Amino acid sequence: MARVALVTGAMGGIGTAICRRLSRAGMRIAANCLPGEPRRDEWLAMMRAEGVEVIAAEADVSAFAASRDMVTVIERDLGPVDVLVNCAGITRDSVFRKMGEEDWHQVIDSNLTSVFNVTRQVIEGMASRGWGRVISLSSVNGTRGQFGQANYSAAKAGMAGFSKALAQEVVKKGVTVNCVSPGYVETAMVRAIRPDVLKALVEGIPIGRLAQPDEIAAVIAFLASDDAAYITGANIPVNGGLHMYG
Ligand code: CAA
């Protein structure tokens, strides 16, 4: 039976590329989006026309109960989740002295608490079946910090700590837990940066350009494969040389 992959934030730039890659690897896809997502029907039609076996899984993953209900429906309609890709995320960039309480909580809830909310629903099933993959989209800015992103950098660093802790708890059960940390990727999120600020950022990337979403998705598809069984608790940088460590 083909494996089931749940991708949160699936209809965004990186999420779409991930769905394509995991489908090409033979998986059936549950594509999470917010309830009432305006792109939903057009996106599903586009993916199905490409041969992707996909259902929409609507839920605000910053809420625990909604995440639980979403996974119940996926299990009923597709079967248990074998691969979880935590890709849902937002930015509310602001210098810290101007950052409001809402800017903080929305980013922590959508980017970090969501990882708890969704992973909590699927991890026991993965462990009891003896195979699973949890992959979370962290960021170069979680590792190095970024001017204007105290909230986002905190959330993304939190995802890496979460993954290392959980990886130890499930390593003997055939479940790996990893992060991928993209640099600046050509998506709506990055296009929203003020043009002068973005130009300066791109000039600082050694490779001299933004990443394409598929360059991130390729690494995620590898981590989701059987070949990556020995990689766990890792945080793989894909950043064009913007931040080198390890
Ligand atoms: N380091 C040090 N100082 C900086 C700086 C930096 N990186 N960037 C700006 N400054 C300085 C400016 O020179 C300016 O100084 P003066 O007041 O002396 O002139 C001061 O800080 C204010 O800067 P801004 O004019 O930019 O302030 P603003 O309030 O208009 O904008 C901001 C603030 C919205 C945070 C804006 O700087 C910004 O958008 N920064 C980019 C944030 C960013 O990288 N976001 C990534 C989004 S994509 C993403 O998150 C995906 C991913 O994972 C990578």
pLDDT digits (tens, 9 = 90+) for 190-204: 999 999 999 999 999
pLDDT-derived band at 1 (thresholds 50, 70, 90) equals confident
Distance CA 104, CA 46 (A): 35
CATH superfamily to which 4-183+213-238 belongs: NAD(P)-binding Rossmann-like Domain (3.40.50.720)
Q: What is the mean pLDDT of the chain?
A: 98
Q: Phi first, then psi: what are they for 231, rounded to 5°?
A: -100, 115
Q: Is 147 in the pocket of ligand 1 (CB under 6 A)?
A: yes
Mean pLDDT, rounded, for 144-155: 98
The b-or-e profile of 129-141 (16+ CB within 10 A means b, else e) is eeebbbbbbbbbb
Q: Tell me whether residue 55 is exposed, middle or buried, using C-beta atoms within 10 angstroms of its C-beta: 0 to 12, 13 to 18, 19 or more.
A: middle
List the domain boundaries for the chain: 4-183+213-238
Residue whose entry in the numeric block shows the structure tokens 């990443």: 211
- Spacing of C-alpha 9 from chain mean position: 7
Q: What is the DSSP pairing of strand 132-137 with strand 4-7? A: unpaired
Ligand 1 geometric centre to CA of 148 (Å): 5
Give CA separation, 39 vs 29, 36, 245, in Å: 17, 9, 37
Whether residue 152 lies in the annotated active site: yes
Choice from 92, 103, 147 to test ligand 1 binding pocket (greatest atom count within 8 A of CB):
147
Closest approach atom of ligand 1 to CA 152: 50
Q: Is 95 in the pocket of ligand 1 (CB under 6 A)?
A: yes
pLDDT value of residue 246: 77
